[in-house]
Chain A
Amino acid sequence: MRITNNRITRNYLFNANRNLQYYNDSSNKLTTGRAFTRVSENVSGGKKAMRLRTQLYQNAQFQKNVSAANEKLTIAEQSLREMSDIITSIKEQAQRGGGVVDDDSMDILASTVDEFKATMLQYANCTYVDEYVFGGTNAKTAPFTADANGALMYNGTVVSDIVKNNAGNFVDQDGNAVEFSEKIYIDIGLGMVNLEEGKIDVQSAYDTSFSGLDCLGFGTSEFTYKNNDGVEVTEEFPNNIYDIATEISKALRDKDTQKLSALTDRMSEAHNNLLKNVADLGVRTQYLERTLTQLKDEEVNIQTMQTELEGINDTEEIVKMNEYKYAWMLTLQFGGNLLPQSLMDFLK
C-alpha cells in the first residue's frame, strides 16, 4: 500500500485527538468528583442514581417528621404526668375531707381543689410550638374551656355529653360529631399511599393525634353508693377528671362525706385511665425513637450506595489520568518527527 504524506498526517491527527479526548474525560471526572454528569454517559447508573436521590430526600423529611412527632408526644406525656400528680393531690384533699373537719377547713380544702382544677385545665391546654397538644385539629382556640355552669367543654361541646359512636368517633347526644376531633396523620415513611377512591390509606401513615378526651375522660356513668342517710342512690357521675374535681369541691362544701368517698373512687378510676394513656404514650414514643434510628441507618446505606454509584475512585482515576497524560506527551514528542525524512533530503 502506498504511504502518502497526507495519510501519515491525518492518522496522526485522528489518534492524537483521541488521546486528548481520553485525557479530557478523565480530568473532568477528577475535577467534578463524579463518574457521570449526564444520563447518557451511564444510563442504568443514572436511573438508579435518580431513584437514590429521591429516597434520600424523602428519608431526610421522614426523620424531620418523626422527630417533630416525638417531641409533641413527649410534651403530652409530661403534661399527663403533671395532671396525674394533681389528681393525687386532689384525692388527698378529698380524703382529708372524709375525716371530721370544721367548716373553715372544708372551705380551704374546697378552694385548694378549685385551684388544682384550674392548673389541671392549664395542663390540658398545653401547647407544642403553636399547637394545642390535646386539641385534636383545633388550630386557633384552646380546646378545653369551662362553660357558664363550670362544666368542662371540649371544642365547644360539653364533655359530659360526649359519647363514642360505633365507628369510634366522638359525637354529642344528638349524634353530631364533636368539632375538631379528627385524627391527624403524618408521613413517616411507611409507604403512604392513596386508596383507590383518592383518600389516604390510614394504615400507611402515622397517627400523631392525641385525644384529650380519652385521657381526661368523657361522658358520664352511673355510680351506686350509700348516701349519708344510708339509702342506696345511683347517680350519674361525670367521667372526666375536671368535672369530678368540681363535684368533689362541691361535696366538700356540702360536707357530703359519702358522696365524697364515692367521688374519690370515681376519681381513682379516672386516674387509672389517665395512667393507662401515659403508658400508651410511652410505647408510642419508643416506637418513634426506633423508627428514627432505623431511618438514620437507612440514610447511611443510601448515601453509601450513592457514593459507590456516582462517585469515582480517586486513586484509580488519578492513575488513569496519568496514563493518558503520558500517552499524550508521547504523541506530542514523536509528532515532532511526524514526517520522516524522504528521498528529497538526500538529493545533492
Chain B
Amino acid sequence: MRPTFLGFEASKTALFATQKALDITGNNLSNISSEGYTRQRVDQVSMGYYCYGTKYNINARTHLAGMGTNVLGISQTRNEQLDNAFRTQYAEVGDYSQRNTMLTEIESVLQEMDIGTDGNGYGLRYSIEEMYTSLQDLSMDASSITDANVVVAAFTNFATTMRQVSMNLEEKAEQYKQELQVDTQTVNTILEKISVLNRDIKRAMVAGGYTEEYGPNEMLDERNLLLDELSAYGEVGVKYYADGTADVTLGGRLVVKDETNEMLDFSRNNDGTVSVRWRSTGENVGLGPGIITASTEIINGRGDGAISANESSFMGFRFYKDKLDELASRIADVCNNTIPKEVDVDGNVVSYVKFFGAQMTNDFGETEILPDMYISSDNIKIMDDIKADPSKILTNNGVTKDNKYILELLADLSTTKIKFTNGDATFEDYITGYLTNLGNDITYYDTRSESAQTVNEELLNSRESITGVSENEETVNMLTYNRAYQAAARMMTVMDELLDVLINQMGV
C-alpha cells in the first residue's frame, strides 16, 4: 500500500535539495577569490527507508520506495597529502628567503664593489687605498709636513669608515632582532587563534550536528589558512580528531592541543644573542626549517668563532662583526708599532708613534682614546695628539728624510701576510676573503630560494586544482540544478493533478 501523499514528499525534498544546491553553487561563485576557500559540494543521496526488526511485515520493498532525495551534507574536498607537502615546502621557502634577505642586507652594509659617484667607491678597501697612497707620497719626501697632514687625514678617514661600517652592521642586527620579536608574537597569535578555532569547531560539531565528513566548512577553511601561515615559521604537523579538533606540532613539539596552546617567548641574552623559548618549559625552541630558525641562526651566527651555547655556527651578524673587529685590531697593531717615536742612543726603539686608539668612556662620562686597550671596529679612533699635530709622525720632527719606517708600514699594509685567526693574508685579501664568503652564501640561498619557490608554485597549483572553484563547473551545476528544480516543480503539478482526479473526480 502506497502512502497517498508520498509523491508530494518526494518532490518537496527535490525542491529543497535543488534550492540548497543552487545556494551552494552561488556560494562557490561568490567565493571564487576568497583566500583559503575550498569549494563546497552538496552531497545528495536517494532517501531510503529500510526497516527491520519490527514484528509487522510492512513489505517496504515496493510500498515505501521512492522517498525522494536527502541532502546528507555540504562537503569540501581537501587532500591531506598535498596540504602537508605544501606546508613542508612553504617552510623551506620561508627559511631560504629569510636567509637570502638577511645576508643580502649584510652585504649592503659591507659593500665594496660599488664604485659610487666618483668611481672610487666608499668601502674599507678604498680607505686602505688612501692610506697607502698617502704613505707612498710621504715616503718620497719623509720630512714633508704637508704629506704628513694628508697621511693623518687618510688614517682618520679609515677609522671613521671602520666605525661607520661596524655601527651599520649593529643597527641591521638590531632591526632583525626586533623583526624576530614581532615574528614570535605573530606565531603566538596564530597559535591562539588555532586553539580558539579548535574550541569553536568542537562546539559547532556538537551543536550543529556536524560529523567528521561534513564539518563546519568555513571554520575548517579558516583553520587551514592559519596552518598554512604558520608553516612559514617552522615545521608544522597536524593530526585531526573525530571531534573536530586538531593537534598541531611545531618542530615536532605539540603546541596546540584541543583548546590549549603553547606560546613562544623572545628574549635578549646578555651576550648580545637572542633566544626564542617555549613559555611552558623555558627551553630553546627547535622549529626546524622556517623563518624563526633562519632569523635566529643568522642573528646569533658566529661561524667558527662560536663560543657560547647561544651562538650558532652559521656565518651571521656576529661572524662578520668579528671579522671587522679583527681587521681593525690588526691594522691598529701594525700602525701603532712601526714608526718610532723615541729612539735611544744605541738606535733601539724606546716607543712607537701611536696612530690609533680605542675610544673609551670612563666613569665620569668623559671619552678618552687609549692605544693600549683592545681596539675593535666600533671604538677605533685616531689619537688626539696625532690629529692635532700631524708632524708628530715625522721622525725627529722632520729633520731627516730617512723613510725606512714608512716603507715598512707600507709593506705591512700592502704585501705582508698578516696573521689572522683563519690564516695569513694581506689586509686587502682578508676583506676580499670575507666578502667572497658572504657572496657564496648569498648565491647559494638565492638559488635554493628560487627553486623552493618554483616547487611551491607547483604544489599550490596542484592544491588549487582540487580545492579551487572552476567557473565552468559551477555554471554547469547551475544549469543542472535549475533544470532539476523545474522538473521537481513539474512533478509537483503532476502529483496534484493525480490527486485532483482521485479526490474530486472519482465517484462523483
Task: Check B125–A53 contact: CB distance below 8 A.
Answer: yes
Contacts of B132 in A (CB 8 A): 57-58, 61
**A interface residue count range (under 10 / 10 to 19 / 20 to 34 / 35 or more):** 35 or more
Task: Check A139–B464 contact: CB distance below 8 A.
Answer: no
Contacts of B129 in A (CB 8 A): 54, 57
Q: Is B398 an interface residue (CB 8 A)?
A: yes
CA distance A182 to B475 in the complex (A): 100
Interface stretch of the complex, out of B273-281, B298-306, B433-441: B433-441
Query: What would be 9 A-B contacts, judged by CB atoms less than 8 Å apart?
Result: A7-B465, A38-B439, A39-B113, A39-B436, A40-B103, A40-B104, A138-B400, A194-B411, A200-B411
Apart from A57-B133, A187-B139, what are 15 other A-B pairs with CB-CB below 8 Å? A1-B465, A2-B468, A37-B113, A40-B107, A40-B446, A47-B436, A49-B113, A57-B129, A61-B136, A182-B404, A184-B402, A185-B403, A191-B415, A194-B408, A343-B476
Contacts of A347 in B (CB 8 A): 475, 479
Task: Check B112–A186 contact: CB distance below 8 A.
Answer: no
Task: Check A137–B400 contact: CB distance below 8 A.
Answer: yes
CA distance A285 to B413 in the complex (A): 29
Task: Check A38–B107 contact: CB distance below 8 A.
Answer: yes
Q: Is A231 an interface residue (CB 8 A)?
A: no
CA distance A205 to B125 in the complex (A): 24
Task: Check B408–A198 contact: CB distance below 8 A.
Answer: yes
Q: Is B10 an interface residue (CB 8 A)?
A: no
Find A39's partner among B399, B438, B479 (CB 8 Å cutoff): B438
Given contacts A139-B400, A140-B399, whether A43 and B113 have CB atoms under 8 Å apart is no
CA distance A82 to B153 in the complex (A): 42
Contacts of A3 in B (CB 8 A): 465, 470
Given contacts A57-B129, A137-B401, A192-B407, whether A40 and B438 have CB atoms under 8 Å apart is yes
CA distance A241 to B115 in the complex (A): 58
Interface residue ranges, A against B (CB under 8 Å)? 1-7, 10-11, 14, 34, 36-40, 43, 46-47, 49-51, 53-54, 57-58, 61, 64-65, 68-69, 129-131, 135-140, 180, 182, 184-187, 191-194, 198-200, 205, 342-344, 347
CA distance A21 to B127 in the complex (A): 34
Query: Which of B115, B407, B408, B476 has most chain A Cβ within 10 Å?
Result: B407
**B interface residue count range (under 10 / 10 to 19 / 20 to 34 / 35 or more):** 35 or more
Task: Check A43–B439 contact: CB distance below 8 A.
Answer: yes
Contacts of B472 in A (CB 8 A): 342-343
Contacts of A46 in B (CB 8 A): 113, 435-436, 439
The interface bits of chain B over 412-431 (1 if a CB of A lies within 8 angstroms of the residue's CB, else 0) are: 10111000000000001001
Query: Which of A36, A49, A205 has most chain B Cβ within 10 Å?
Result: A205
CA distance A139 to B410 in the complex (A): 21
Task: Check B457–A344 contact: CB distance below 8 A.
Answer: no
Q: Is B501 an interface residue (CB 8 A)?
A: no
CB distance from B333 to the nearest CB of A (A): 12
Contacts of B400 in A (CB 8 A): 137-139, 180, 182
Contacts of B407 in A (CB 8 A): 185-187, 192, 200, 205
Chain A, Cβ-Cβ closest to B461: A7
CB distance from B413 to the nearest CB of A (A): 10
Task: Check A5–B32 contact: CB distance below 8 A.
Answer: yes
Chain B, Cβ-Cβ closest to A43: B439
Task: Check A14–B457 contact: CB distance below 8 A.
Answer: yes
CB distance from B66 to the nearest CB of A (A): 32
Contacts of B411 in A (CB 8 A): 187, 192-194, 200
Find B143's partner among A51, A58, A139 (CB 8 Å cutoff): A139
Task: Check B408–A54 contact: CB distance below 8 A.
Answer: no
